[in-house]
Structures are given as structure tokens and as C-alpha cells.
């Protein structure tokens, strides 16, 4: 069922938020209200044959506005920043809400809501952020350190469900990310623009910035503090959220599109566009949408890549800029460790023909993955090469393990990533060669993640954006973590990985991550498959786009030049 926020509904929401101290977003001074377009989304019957989704009016210049439409292939699942781990959702959230910092693909960091930050050199347990004094919420109220403290307090509140609870788990006064009664909470405002985080243990600053603060979105205390925690997830605020980011939420059609106006008062830089649209478009329609102007840019980073079959044609279009971007992101086969024993997982790791995946599905635009770190990563353990591939030995291992090969096992894959979908039947064939029969089950991405978290699967194809920090995957093999898709119950992997977090130089960290990578190879909770280049394209009216940062949840739309 389609859901659209009507103007009357939006007005009602703004009135309700005003009662709780949160006013409606202030309108940018140099943008206009959207004109009715008569599209199918608004009840019209216009459908353009061969178009990305039937709507042809997005990028019209008749309104005198600069409109940018970004396409991704699967929808967002919520507008609650702390209740998702979905990259598609982050692509929407980071437009509305601010994070403290921007993580660059080269491992460096840039200011976003925070102008500067530092860690104490003695204990390595205190991180201080100095906030930008010009930052404002979309309703005109200033962003303060109290908002940062409130966000951390809400995410660590035991009375609310929080998907990203691990982001506050390092803070003093918490246990598994939940505040402990009677203990001092490790997040406090020093003054209106300074906030201090106290950690339970000495921790590497780069790890905290990259892994913990990368998707730590700051929420407006004045809009939310009067809402009972038990009612927070169902609050009307999330139907028209107010943030401090570069775009102001306007409306959405659930599962189809989200529309924004530019925040011309954004504290870093006013976006050069007037309106921004995020649209869900099948991968097969991305190129046609770019060619006819209905789409201006793809979301990249595995959530909006040009299909390989269209890549050559994309490069021939005079109106498009194309880039094949080296990515930290990887794809892997998650194995349910409760259903698939270790020796069988090792056999599966040995049976997958990664070279065939890269050459046949990616036309060479990728690299076989020996683990979560690419061979070019500075923390990569060279002992992982060469990647084992021996079908006969793998088959023998399965036979000797006593594994029940009379059953048909489940191989789950989600829609939206063309290469991942096409890899499923190839992996099915590889597994059949060693006596393991699987049935391919295709769902949408949120359903796949939910199924994996519940352990209701045998094998599942999943991707990750990767990280410059070697500790990115540690949480995903830690018992009790939301993304412990493999249902791993052995704490040793997480323990070794976390030891590297407590070291403060490359030389001290490297041995722990070398050991961690070898343990991953031995235990095989995941079978890593490949690092795929992001094949992206965008209209030449847009420039100064840094796709390398996309997999780290940073599209930095305020830096784009738009003609």
C-alpha cells in the first residue's frame, strides 16, 4: 500500500511537535514550495514508457529549481536513525541528520557536526568533541552538546529497542550498551558546544571514529525529550523528522521515494541544489533513467550500482560521467554455525570458485576476497594467500564429516544487487559439486537481514561496506551482536579482535589483526567472496562527487557542484 504524507498531515504533525517544543522546519529563503506535478505518485495517471519508474517531471526546469534525483535499488526501512543497520536507510538518514565526523576512504576524518576532536594521551579513555557553533536544527534551534548527550542517553536506555546499541557500548556506565543504574554515564556536556565521552577501556581513537561514530546520528533533544520512552518508536516525530543535516525532509511514498528541500542554512556549506529526491529504481532501469534525465546520480556502494551489462553503454553517453571506484566493501556467504559445522564451512570456503565470480559476473571489475580485508589493505595478513580452491578435497571433507547431504539447505539472497543475485546459482553449483544441495530463496533485503539475525537460514549472501579500520568485522562475529548473522557462540574471535582496539600504533595493532584473520579462516563463520568495484554514473550537471567515501556512509552532498 502506498503511503504519502499529505500537506494536511504534515501540518498536523508540525502542530503536535510544536506542543512538545519542536517547531516546523524553517523554509529556506531562496527555494519555492513544490508545484503539483500530476505524477502517478500523486494520483495522476502519467506513465512514461521505458522510464525509470514512470515519473517524468522530477528534473524539469520549468519550476526554476535545481533538482537532484539519486537512485538506489532497494528501499530504506525506517527514519529512526538508531533502529537500523541498513545501508539503504543510511543513504536517506545522512541527508536529514548530522554525524559528528566524516570518515574518508583513505582512513582520514573530516569535520561535520564537530569542528575538532581529541583523545587524552594518558589514559586513552576520554574523547572530546567541539561542536560547530553555527549548527542549527531545521526548525532554527541551535544544536548543542545537550543534544549529543540526549542521543547517547536515549540509545542506552533499557526501555527502548535499539538496533545500534553497540555504538554506545564502549561508554562508561553501560553494560552491553545499556546504562547501569547507579553508575555515572560516560557522556557529558562540558559547555554548550563541548561534549566529552568517557570510555570503559583504553581504545584506539581511529577505531572509535570510524566504527562507533560513523553512523552515530545526533537527535534534537527539544523535539523528543517530552515523549515517553515507551512511546518513542511510534512517535509522530519520525513521520516528518527534524534534523540538522543538509536536507530538510518534506514527504515520502513508502518504499518508493523520499523528497527533500535543501537546507540553505547548513553550517558547513549551503547545498547548490534546491530539492533532492531519493528514488527506488530497479537496477535494470538505472541507465535508461540516467540517459533520459529522470535520474541524476546513482547511490553506488552496492545499493545503486550500474549493472555490468550496461557499463559499456553508460561510458558512451555524452551526458554522463562514469567511474569504476575501488571499494572497501565486500560480499560474503554467511554460514549458520548452528546448522553448518566448522569442517563443512571450511570445505565450502575451499569449494567456491571466486575467480569465476569475478571474471564471469564482474568482467574483472573486482578482486577475490580472502577475508574482510583486501590484499591492498595495510592490515592484511599475507599468509591468507593464496586463497584455497580444491573441489576434490572439499568433497572429501564433507564426506568425512558425516554431514547430512540428503537434506536440501537454504541459500538466502536479497533483491537489488545484480551481481550478488547472479552469484547465487553459481555458488549453488559449487556446493552441489561437494554434495551439498541448496535451494535459493530470494527476498527483499530487510527480510533477509531479519531472517539471518533470527538464525532462520543455512547460508545467506550478504555485503558490507568495509572500513579503513581492521576492526570493522569484529562486532559481526561477537556473540550477542545484532549482526552476528552466523550465530557464532565462540567468544574467542571477538576477544582477539577487540585486543587490537586497545593498541595505539600500527605496529602494536598489526599482530592482533593478523591472528584475528587467521582465526576467521580457521573457524569460517563467513566465507568471503569478492571485493567489487562500484560502477557509478552521474549527469554531467553534477561535479565534485567523491564516490570513494560512499561505502563509509558519506555522500557529502553539500560539496557537490550542481549546474
CATH number, domain of 555, equals 3.40.190.10
Does residue 152 share a domain with residue 68?
Answer: no
Residues 6+ away with beta carbon under 8 Å from 84: 76, 77, 78, 90, 93, 163, 164
Does residue 77 share a domain with residue 141?
Answer: no
Does residue 83 share a domain with residue 106?
Answer: no
Tens digit of each residue's pLDDT (9 = 90 or more) over 33-84? 333 333 222 233 333 333 444 444 444 444 689 999 999 999 999 999 999 9
Output the CA torsion sign for 374, 375, 377, 381: positive
Does residue 454 share a domain with residue 410?
Answer: yes
Residues of the chain with pLDDT under 50: 1-20, 27-62
Q: Cell numbers 569465476 correspond to what residue?
A: 356
Helices and strands counted in the chain (H then E): 14, 23
Domain count, the chain: 3
Evaluate whether 240 touches 259 at the Cβ level (below 8 Å): no
Task: Please indicate, yes or no, if residue 284 is contained in any of the structural domains.
Answer: yes
pLDDT score of 550: 86
Burial class of residue 282 in the structure, from the number of CB atoms within 10 Å of its CB (0-12 exposed, 13-18 middle, 19+ buried): middle
- Looking up residue 200, the CATH number of its domain turns out to be 3.90.76.10
Does residue 442 share a domain with residue 403?
Answer: yes
Expressed as residue numbers, the domain containing 147 is 97-224
Record the cell numbers describing residue 394, joined without a space.
572439499
- Looking up residue 487, the CATH number of its domain turns out to be 3.10.105.10
Does residue 554 share a domain with residue 471?
Answer: no
Task: Please indicate, yes or no, if residue 40 is contained in any of the structural domains.
Answer: no
**Distance between CA atoms of residues 293 and 58, nearest Å:** 9
Does residue 424 share a domain with residue 473?
Answer: yes
Does residue 351 share a domain with residue 261?
Answer: no
pLDDT score of 261: 99
Does residue 248 share a domain with residue 365?
Answer: no
Does residue 422 share a domain with residue 518?
Answer: yes
Task: Please indicate, yes or no, if residue 239 is contained in any of the structural domains.
Answer: no
Task: Please indicate, yes or no, if residue 10 is contained in any of the structural domains.
Answer: no
Task: Please indicate, yes or no, if residue 107 is contained in any of the structural domains.
Answer: yes
Task: Please indicate, yes or no, if residue 154 is contained in any of the structural domains.
Answer: yes
pLDDT score of 63: 64
Task: Please indicate, yes or no, if residue 391 is contained in any of the structural domains.
Answer: yes
pLDDT score of 364: 87
Domain boundary among 196, 224, 252: 224
Does residue 198 share a domain with residue 131?
Answer: yes
Does residue 109 share a domain with residue 90?
Answer: no
Q: Which of helix, strand or coil describes residue 511? A: helix
**Distance between CA atoms of residues 445 and 368, nearest Å:** 23
Contacts of range 46-52, beta carbons closer than 8 Å, 24 or more positions apart: 48/294, 50/288, 50/292, 51/285, 51/288, 51/289, 51/292, 51/294, 52/279, 52/281, 52/285, 52/286, 52/288, 52/289, 52/292, 52/294, 52/295
Residues 6+ away with beta carbon under 8 Å from 309: none
Task: Please indicate, yes or no, if residue 157 is contained in any of the structural domains.
Answer: yes
Evaluate whether 469 touches 462 at the Cβ level (below 8 Å): no
Evaluate whether 173 touches 196 at the Cβ level (below 8 Å): no
Amino acid at each position: 500500500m502506498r503511503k504519502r504524507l499529505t500537506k494536511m498531515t504534515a501540518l498536523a504533525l508540525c502542530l503536535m511537535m510544536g506542543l512538545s517544543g519542536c517547531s516546523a522546519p524553517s523554509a529556506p529563503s531562496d527555494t519555492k514550495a513544490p508545484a503539483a506535478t500530476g505524477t502517478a505518485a500523486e494520483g495522476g495517471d502519467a506513465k512514461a514508457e521505458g522510464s525509470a519508474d514512470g515519473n517524468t517531471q522530477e528534473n524539469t526546469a520549468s519550476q526554476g529549481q535545481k533538482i537532484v534525483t539519486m537512485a538506489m535499488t532497494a528501499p530504506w526501512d525506517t527514519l529512526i536513525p538508531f533502529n537500523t543497520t541498513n545501508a539503504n536507510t543510511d543513504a536517506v538518514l545522512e541527508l536529514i541528520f548530522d554525524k559528528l565526523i566524516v570518515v574518508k576512504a583513505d582512513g582520514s576524518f573530516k569535520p561535520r557536526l564537530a569542528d575538532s576532536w581529541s583523545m587524552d594521551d594518558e589514559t586513552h579513555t576520554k574523547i572530546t568533541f567541539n561542536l560547530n557553533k553555527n549548527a542549527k536544527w531545521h526548525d532554527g534551534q541551535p544544536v548543542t552538546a545537550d543534544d549529543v548527550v540526549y542521543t547517547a542517553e536515549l540509545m542506552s536506555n533499557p526501555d527502548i529497542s535499539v538496533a545500534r546499541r553497540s555504538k554506545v557500548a564502549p561508554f562508561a556506565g553501560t553494560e552491553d550498551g545499556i546504562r547501569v543504574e547507579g553508575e555515572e554515564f560516560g557522556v557529558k556536556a562540558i559547555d554548550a558546544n563541548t561534549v566529552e565521552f568517557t570510555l570503559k577501556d583504553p581504545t584506539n581513537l581511529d577505531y572509535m571514529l570510524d566504527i562507533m561514530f560513523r553512523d552515530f546520528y545526533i537527535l534534537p533533544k527539544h523535539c523528543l525529550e517530552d515523549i515517553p520512552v515507551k512511546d518513542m518508536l511510534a512517535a509522530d516525530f519520525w513521520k516528518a523528522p527534524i534534523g540538522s543535516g543538509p536536507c530538510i525532509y518534506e514527504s515520502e511514498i513508502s518504499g518508493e521515494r523520499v523528497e527533500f528541500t535543501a537546507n540553505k542554512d547548513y553550517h558547513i556549506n549551503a547545498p547548490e541544489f534546491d530539492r533532492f529526491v531519493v528514488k527506488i529504481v530497479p537496477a535494470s532501469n538505472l541507465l535508461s533513467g540516467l540517459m533520459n534525465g529522470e535520474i541524476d546520480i546513482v547511490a553506488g556502494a552496492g545499493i545503486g550500482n550500474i549493472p555490468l551489462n550496461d557499463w559499456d553503454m553508460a561510458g558512451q553517453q555524452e551526458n554522463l560521467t562514469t567511474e569504476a571506484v575501488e571499494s572497501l566493501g565486500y560480499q560474503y556467504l554467511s554460514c549458520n554455525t548452528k546448522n553448518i559445522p566448522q569442517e563443512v564451512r571450511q570445505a565450502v570456503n575451499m569449494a567456491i570458485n571466486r575467480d569465476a565470480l569475478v571474471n564471469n559476473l564482474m568482467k574483472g571489475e573486482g578482486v577475490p576476497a580472502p577475508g574482510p580485508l583486501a590484499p591492498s589493505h595495510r592490515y592484511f595478513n599475507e599468509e591468507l594467500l593464496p586463497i584455497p580452491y580444491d573441489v576434490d578435497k572439499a568433497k572429501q571433507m564433507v564426506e568425512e564429516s558425516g554431514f547430512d547431504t540428503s537434506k536440501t539447505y537454504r541459500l538466502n539472497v536479497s533483491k537489488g544487487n545484480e551481481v550478488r543475485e547472479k552469484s547465487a546459482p553459481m555458488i549453488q553449483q559449487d556446493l552441489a559439486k561437494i554434495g551439498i544441495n541448496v535451494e535459493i530463496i530470494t527476498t527483499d533485503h530487510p527480510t533477509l537481514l531479519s531472517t539471518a539475525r533470527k538464525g532462520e537460514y543455512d547460508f545467506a549472501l550478504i555485503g558490507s561496506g568495509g572500513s579503513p579500520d581492521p576492526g570493522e568485522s569484529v562486532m559481526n562475529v561477537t556473540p550477542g551482536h545484532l549482526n552476528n548473522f552466523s550465530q557464532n557462540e565462540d567468544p574467542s574471535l571477538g576477544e582477539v579482535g577487540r585486543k587490537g582496539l586497545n593498541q595505539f600504533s600500527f605496529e602494536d595493532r598489526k599482530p592482533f589483526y593478523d591472528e584475528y584473520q587467521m582465526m576467521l579462516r580457521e573457524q569460517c563463520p563467513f566465507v568471503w567472496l569478492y571485493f567489487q568495484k562500484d560502477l557509478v554514473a552521474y549527469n554531467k550537471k553534477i561535479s565534485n562527487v567523491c564516490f570513494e567515501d560512499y561505502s563509509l556512509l558519506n555522500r557529502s552532498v553539500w560539496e557537490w557542484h550542481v549546474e
